[in-house]
Protein backbone atom coordinates (compact mmCIF):
# COMPACT_ATOMS: atom_id res chain seq x y z
CA UNK A 1 0.00 0.00 0.00
CA UNK A 2 1.06 3.57 -0.52
CA UNK A 3 0.31 6.86 1.17
CA UNK A 4 1.26 10.50 0.67
CA UNK A 5 3.09 12.58 3.28
CA UNK A 6 4.15 16.21 3.50
CA UNK A 7 7.31 17.37 5.33
CA UNK A 8 6.46 19.14 8.60
CA UNK A 9 8.72 22.02 9.63
CA UNK A 10 6.83 23.31 12.67
CA UNK A 11 6.78 21.13 15.78
CA UNK A 12 5.36 21.30 19.27
CA UNK A 13 1.96 20.66 20.87
CA UNK A 14 0.38 23.93 19.71
CA UNK A 15 1.49 23.31 16.12
CA UNK A 16 0.11 19.77 16.31
CA UNK A 17 -3.26 21.04 17.58
CA UNK A 18 -3.39 23.53 14.71
CA UNK A 19 -2.65 20.75 12.22
CA UNK A 20 -5.45 18.59 13.62
CA UNK A 21 -7.93 21.46 13.35
CA UNK A 22 -6.98 21.68 9.67
CA UNK A 23 -7.70 17.98 9.11
CA UNK A 24 -4.03 16.95 9.20
CA UNK A 25 -2.21 14.40 11.37
CA UNK A 26 1.35 14.91 12.70
CA UNK A 27 3.60 11.89 12.21
CA UNK A 28 7.25 10.86 12.36
CA UNK A 29 9.48 8.50 10.39
CA UNK A 30 12.54 7.11 12.14
CA UNK A 31 15.15 4.39 11.72
CA UNK A 32 17.70 3.65 9.03
CA UNK A 33 20.73 5.81 8.36
CA UNK A 34 18.77 9.03 7.78
CA UNK A 35 17.62 11.37 10.51
CA UNK A 36 14.09 11.23 11.87
CA UNK A 37 11.66 12.98 9.54
CA UNK A 38 8.65 14.93 10.80
CA UNK A 39 5.73 14.67 8.41
CA UNK A 40 2.02 15.41 8.25
CA UNK A 41 -0.75 13.30 6.72
CA UNK A 42 -4.27 13.88 5.50
CA UNK A 43 -6.55 12.71 8.32
CA UNK A 44 -9.26 11.12 6.17
CA UNK A 45 -6.72 9.26 4.04
CA UNK A 46 -4.80 7.82 7.02
CA UNK A 47 -8.02 7.10 8.97
CA UNK A 48 -9.39 4.90 6.18
CA UNK A 49 -5.98 3.30 5.58
CA UNK A 50 -5.76 2.32 9.27
CA UNK A 51 -9.05 0.42 8.96
CA UNK A 52 -7.38 -1.99 6.53
CA UNK A 53 -5.49 -4.91 8.02
CA UNK A 54 -2.78 -4.85 5.34
CA UNK A 55 -1.80 -1.30 6.35
CA UNK A 56 -0.78 -2.65 9.76
CA UNK A 57 1.16 -5.70 8.56
CA UNK A 58 2.89 -4.94 5.28
CA UNK A 59 5.66 -2.81 3.85
CA UNK A 60 4.22 0.59 2.93
CA UNK A 61 5.31 2.92 0.14
CA UNK A 62 5.59 6.44 1.55
CA UNK A 63 5.58 9.20 -1.07
CA UNK A 64 6.90 12.39 0.50
CA UNK A 65 6.06 15.53 -1.44
CA UNK A 66 9.21 16.90 -3.06
CA UNK A 67 11.15 13.62 -2.83
CA UNK A 68 12.23 11.81 -5.99
CA UNK A 69 11.50 8.28 -4.82
CA UNK A 70 9.17 6.56 -2.40
CA UNK A 71 10.49 5.23 0.90
CA UNK A 72 9.63 1.84 2.35
CA UNK A 73 8.28 2.09 5.88
CA UNK A 74 6.44 0.00 8.45
CA UNK A 75 3.65 1.27 10.67
CA UNK A 76 4.85 1.20 14.28
CA UNK A 77 2.27 2.93 16.45
CA UNK A 78 -0.91 4.98 16.27
CA UNK A 79 -2.24 7.37 18.90
CA UNK A 80 -6.04 7.74 18.88
CA UNK A 81 -8.26 10.30 20.60
CA UNK A 82 -9.74 8.79 23.81
CA UNK A 83 -13.34 8.97 22.59
CA UNK A 84 -13.43 10.56 19.11
CA UNK A 85 -12.77 8.72 15.87
CA UNK A 86 -9.66 10.84 15.41
CA UNK A 87 -6.05 9.90 14.71
CA UNK A 88 -3.72 12.06 16.82
CA UNK A 89 -0.24 10.85 15.84
CA UNK A 90 1.42 8.10 13.79
CA UNK A 91 4.91 6.57 13.97
CA UNK A 92 6.58 4.85 11.01
CA UNK A 93 9.91 3.02 10.81
CA UNK A 94 12.12 2.99 7.73
CA UNK A 95 12.75 -0.44 6.25
CA UNK A 96 16.18 -1.73 5.22
CA UNK A 97 15.95 -4.64 2.78
CA UNK A 98 18.97 -6.30 4.43
CA UNK A 99 17.91 -5.82 8.05
CA UNK A 100 15.49 -8.15 9.84
CA UNK A 101 12.21 -6.71 11.08
CA UNK A 102 10.47 -7.38 14.38
CA UNK A 103 6.72 -6.91 14.02
CA UNK A 104 3.32 -8.43 14.75
CA UNK A 105 1.32 -10.25 12.09
CA UNK A 106 -2.38 -11.17 12.35
CA UNK A 107 -3.59 -14.76 12.25
CA UNK A 108 -6.35 -15.80 9.82
CA UNK A 109 -8.31 -18.83 11.04
CA UNK A 110 -9.75 -21.00 8.27
CA UNK A 111 -12.30 -23.85 8.02
CA UNK A 112 -13.50 -23.78 11.63
CA UNK A 113 -17.11 -24.22 10.51
CA UNK A 114 -16.18 -27.38 8.59
CA UNK A 115 -14.14 -28.97 11.38
CA UNK A 116 -15.30 -32.09 13.29
CA UNK A 117 -15.25 -29.92 16.43
CA UNK A 118 -18.12 -27.82 15.08
CA UNK A 119 -19.97 -30.25 12.79
CA UNK A 120 -19.87 -33.33 15.05
CA UNK A 121 -19.40 -32.00 18.57
CA UNK A 122 -21.12 -28.60 18.32
CA UNK A 123 -18.03 -27.04 19.89
CA UNK A 124 -17.29 -23.35 20.11
CA UNK A 125 -13.94 -22.51 18.52
CA UNK A 126 -12.04 -19.87 20.47
CA UNK A 127 -9.22 -17.85 18.89
CA UNK A 128 -6.84 -17.65 21.85
CA UNK A 129 -4.07 -15.82 19.97
CA UNK A 130 -4.95 -13.33 17.23
CA UNK A 131 -1.45 -12.20 16.22
CA UNK A 132 2.14 -13.40 16.41
CA UNK A 133 5.31 -11.41 16.94
CA UNK A 134 7.78 -12.48 14.29
CA UNK A 135 11.16 -11.60 12.82
CA UNK A 136 12.07 -11.80 9.14
CA UNK A 137 13.63 -9.86 6.30
CA UNK A 138 11.28 -7.31 4.69
CA UNK A 139 10.92 -9.38 1.51
CA UNK A 140 9.61 -12.33 3.54
CA UNK A 141 7.07 -10.35 5.62
CA UNK A 142 3.63 -11.96 5.31
CA UNK A 143 0.47 -9.83 5.57
CA UNK A 144 -1.04 -12.61 7.69
CA UNK A 145 -0.44 -16.21 8.76
CA UNK A 146 -3.09 -18.86 8.09
CA UNK A 147 -4.24 -21.35 10.73
CA UNK A 148 -6.22 -24.22 9.18
CA UNK A 149 -8.74 -25.65 11.65
CA UNK A 150 -10.25 -28.24 9.27
CA UNK A 151 -9.06 -31.18 11.39
CA UNK A 152 -9.80 -29.70 14.82
CA UNK A 153 -11.72 -32.10 17.09
CA UNK A 154 -14.09 -31.28 19.94
CA UNK A 155 -12.04 -30.45 23.04
CA UNK A 156 -8.95 -30.14 20.82
CA UNK A 157 -6.37 -27.37 20.66
CA UNK A 158 -4.00 -25.90 18.08
CA UNK A 159 -0.53 -24.75 19.10
CA UNK A 160 2.07 -22.87 17.08
CA UNK A 161 3.90 -26.16 16.47
CA UNK A 162 0.80 -27.43 14.63
CA UNK A 163 1.12 -24.87 11.82
CA UNK A 164 3.85 -24.10 9.32
CA UNK A 165 5.25 -20.58 9.35
CA UNK A 166 6.08 -18.98 5.97
CA UNK A 167 9.64 -19.46 4.73
CA UNK A 168 12.09 -17.06 6.36
CA UNK A 169 9.73 -16.19 9.23
CA UNK A 170 10.67 -16.92 12.86
CA UNK A 171 8.42 -16.60 15.91
CA UNK A 172 9.77 -14.28 18.64
CA UNK A 173 9.53 -16.08 21.98
CA UNK A 174 8.18 -14.08 24.93
CA UNK A 175 8.09 -15.22 28.53
CA UNK A 176 9.56 -18.61 27.71
CA UNK A 177 6.47 -19.78 25.79
CA UNK A 178 7.95 -21.14 22.57
CA UNK A 179 4.75 -22.94 21.58
CA UNK A 180 1.74 -20.69 22.36
CA UNK A 181 -1.85 -21.85 22.18
CA UNK A 182 -3.55 -20.44 19.07
CA UNK A 183 -7.08 -21.91 19.18
CA UNK A 184 -9.24 -24.32 21.16
CA UNK A 185 -12.56 -26.10 20.60
CA UNK A 186 -14.74 -26.03 23.73
CA UNK A 187 -17.71 -28.40 23.76
CA UNK A 188 -20.82 -26.69 25.16
CA UNK A 189 -22.17 -28.27 28.35
CA UNK A 190 -20.04 -31.38 28.05
CA UNK A 191 -21.96 -32.44 24.94
CA UNK A 192 -19.19 -34.65 23.63
CA UNK A 193 -18.99 -36.64 26.89
CA UNK A 194 -22.77 -37.16 26.90
CA UNK A 195 -22.74 -38.43 23.32
CA UNK A 196 -19.98 -40.94 24.17
CA UNK A 197 -21.91 -42.21 27.24
CA UNK A 198 -25.12 -42.60 25.24
CA UNK A 199 -23.32 -44.59 22.56
pLDDT at residue 121 is higher than 60: yes
Over residues 132-138, mean pLDDT: 95
Q: What's the chain's average pLDDT?
A: 91
Task: Output the 3-class SS for the chain.
Answer: CEEEEEECCCCCHHHHHHHHHCCEEEEEEECCCCCCEEEEEEHHHHHHHHCCHHHHCCCEEEEECCCCCCEEEEEEEEEECCCCCCEEEEEEEECCCCCCEEEEEEEEEECHHHCHHHHCCCEEEEECCCEEEEEECHHHCCCCEEEECCCCCCCCEEEHHHCCCCCCCEECCECCECCCEEEEEEEHHHHHHHHHHHC
pTM over 0.75: yes
86-89-92 Cα angle (round to 5) = 130
pLDDT tens for 149-199 read 999 999 999 999 999 999 999 999 977 789 999 999 999 875 444 443 333
Q: What is the pLDDT of residue 196?
A: 37
pLDDT tens for each residue of 66-87: 888 899 999 999 999 999 999 9
Amino acid sequence: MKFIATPRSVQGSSASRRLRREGRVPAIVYGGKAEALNIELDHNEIYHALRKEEFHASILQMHVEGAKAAEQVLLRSVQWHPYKQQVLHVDFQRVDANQALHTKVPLHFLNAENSPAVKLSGAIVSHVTTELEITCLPAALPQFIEVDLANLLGGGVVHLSDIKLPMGVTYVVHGGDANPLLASAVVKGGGAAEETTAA
